[in-house]
């Protein structure tokens, strides 16, 4: 079955006010060397043991600051397999009906929600009420209303809510952000984000509006939405969008096949982006400024990320994205570290507001004002 995960294998909050990164970004990754680590460890229960949950679990085996400590699944056979493979105690294994009892388990600090989009809202809120920090895959929810409720629930429970924006920790991505902040590109004029692949199995959950909340935009287009924000370094103030559908049988009502959308920023910079489930070989970011440019292709795949600027090739080291993400998120949760590009729930909420506006613009044809 072709999924976003298969595709990626093959091929913000404004950061303008953040301090410049050093000329060569130094990663604080405990697993990047052989030094012994005796600091705090984030003990994580993964909810949703599918393809991406498996990828995260495997990547965590290389972490020093984060550890796979539990599982939550609706499939008993998967729980049994993971128990054996990762030596997970039975008391740390839950299903979707009983995971509220996590509140009585001191061996788990956080829950990583990796389930279909429509389940995120309720599962994140339940995990927060159980007193656990939450990491949620993107999109954080189905719409901004859900996102606001999720952020509020975690604030009320005094737990952190983070979103699985792995690209916010990716070395070449951060190098482009550093260059932009340093003025290497001059005034930013234009961003282009192309995200797409030809989706396979027509019966998969990603083509079911009740589970996915939409289509390509929710699944792959969010990379262009989020990427436009951290590459330009501003929050968009308007959006226009157009939808094209060539197969109304495969892409039923409410499930978008292809959407073109445009964003405008306070400085006058504009973004032109494409999100599709009907074209392969689309994983490209391009940033243009008065003094230079940055191009990345692939730009959001599992890596290595390949890119160049007007100064030459991007040469930052490739580190497994999920390993780096979990190490850095452990530092955020346990040590109060701040991410260069935020990954908190409010960051996820901003993307949901843009998604809502894109869908609305597709229906009305209107240019809509954004207030993030």
Tokens 């969008």 -> residue: 241
Q: Which of 150, 125, 120 is nearest to 137 (CA)?
A: 120
Q: Are residues 118 and 132 in the same domain?
A: yes
pLDDT at 13 over 50: no
User: Does 247 map to a domain?
Assistant: yes
Positions marked active-site: 138, 223
Asked which of 13-17, 234-238, 304-308 is least confident by mean pLDDT, the reply is 13-17
Of the listed ranges 34-38, 99-103, 340-344, the least confidently predicted one is 34-38
How many domains in the chain?
A: 2
Q: What CATH number is given to the structural domain containing 113?
A: 3.40.50.720
Structure tokens at 163: 């979103």
Provide the pLDDT for residue 133: 98
Query: Can you tell me which residue has the tokens 């994140």?
Result: 124
Considering the domain architecture, whether residues 72 and 177 belong to the same structural domain is answered as: no
The CATH number for 180's domain is 3.30.360.10
Do residue 214 and residue 139 come from a single domain? no
Picking from 115, 148, 166, the residue at the C-terminal end of a domain is 166
Across the range 153-164, mean pLDDT stands at: 98
Q: Which of 166, 187, 213 is the last residue of a domain?
A: 166
Cα separations in angstroms, 185 against 24, 126, 272, 307: 17, 45, 18, 15
Residue 341 near residue 226, CB atoms below 8 Å: no
Is 51 part of a structural domain of the chain?
yes
Is residue 327 domain-resident? Answer: no
Tell which residue, 170, 169, 162, has the closest CA to residue 42: 162
Do 63 and 201 reside in the same domain of the chain? no
Residue that finishes a domain, picked among 117, 148, 166: 166
- Name the residue range of residue 76's domain: 4-11+16-166
Percent helix, strand, coil in the chain, to 5, is 40, 20, 40
pLDDT at 36: 85
322 assigned to some structural domain: no
What is the per-residue burial (b if ≥16 Cβ within 10 Å, else e) of 161-182? bbbbbbbbbbbbbbbbbbbbbe
* Residues 29 and 148 occupy one common structural domain: yes
User: Residue 16: pLDDT band by 50, 70, 90 thresholds?
Assistant: very low
The C-alpha atoms of residue 101 and residue 113 are separated, in whole angstroms, by: 16
Is residue 285's pLDDT more than 50?
A: yes
The answer to whether residue 278 sits within a structural domain is: yes
Angle at 345 between CA 344 and CA 346, to 5 degrees: 95
- The encoded tokens of residue 283 equal 């994983």
For the beta sheet containing 258-264, the strands, ordered from the edge strand earlier in sequence to the opposite edge, are: 312-313, 307-309, 293-296, 282-289, 188-196, 270-276, 258-264, 238-244, 368-369
The pLDDT of residue 28: 52
How far is Cα 268 from Cα 236, in angstroms, rounded to an integer? Answer: 10
Q: What integer is the mean pLDDT of 25-30? A: 47
Residue 324 is assigned to a structural domain of this protein: no
Same-domain check for residues 208 and 67? no
Q: Kindly state the tokens that stand for 343.
A: 């990954």
Nearest to 136 by CA among 106, 158, 166, 157: 166
């Amino acid at each position: 079955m072709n999924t976003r995960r298969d595709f990626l294998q093959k091929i913000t909050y404004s950061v303008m006010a953040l301090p410049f990164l050093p000329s060569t970004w130094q990663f604080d990754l405990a697993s990047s060397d052989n030094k012994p680590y005796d600091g705090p460890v984030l003990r994580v229960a993964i909810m949703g043991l599918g393809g991406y949950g498996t990828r995260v679990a495997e990547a965590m085996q290389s972490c020093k600051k984060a550890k796979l400590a539990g599982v939550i699944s609706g499939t008993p056979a998967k729980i049994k397999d993971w128990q054996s493979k990762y030596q997970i105690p039975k008391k740390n294994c839950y299903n979707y009906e009983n995971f509220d009892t996590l509140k009585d388990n001191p061996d788990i600090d956080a829950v990583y929600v990796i389930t279909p989009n429509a389940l995120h809202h309720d599962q994140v809120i339940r995990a927060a009420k159980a007193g656990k920090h939450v990491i949620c895959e993107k999109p954080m929810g189905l719409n901004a209303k859900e996102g606001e409720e999720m952020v509020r629930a975690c604030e009320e429970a005094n737990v952190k809510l983070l979103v699985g924006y792995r690209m916010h920790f990716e070395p070449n991505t951060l190098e482009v952000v550093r260059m932009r902040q340093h003025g290497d590109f001059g005034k930013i004029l234009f961003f282009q984000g192309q995200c797409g692949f030809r989706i396979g199995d027509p019966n998969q959950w990603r083509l079911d509006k009740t589970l996915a909340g939409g289509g390509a935009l929710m699944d792959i287009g969010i990379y262009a939405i989020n990427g436009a924000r951290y590459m330009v370094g501003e929050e968009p103030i308007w959006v226009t969008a157009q939808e094209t559908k060539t197969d109304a049988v495969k892409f039923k009502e409410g499930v978008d096949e292809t959407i073109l959308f445009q964003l405008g920023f306070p400085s006058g910079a504009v973004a032109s982006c494409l999100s599709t489930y009907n074209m392969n070989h689309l994983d490209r970011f391009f940033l243009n400024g008065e003094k230079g440019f940055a191009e990345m292709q692939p730009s959001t795949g599992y890596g290595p990320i390949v890119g160049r600027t007007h100064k030459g090739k991007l040469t930052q080291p490739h580190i497994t994205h999920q390993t780096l993400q979990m190490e850095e998120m452990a530092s955020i949760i346990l040590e109060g570290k701040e991410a260069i590009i935020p990954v908190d729930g409010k960051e996820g909420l901003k993307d949901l507001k843009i998604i809502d506006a894109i869908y609305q613009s597709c229906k009305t044809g209107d240019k809509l004002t954004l207030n993030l």
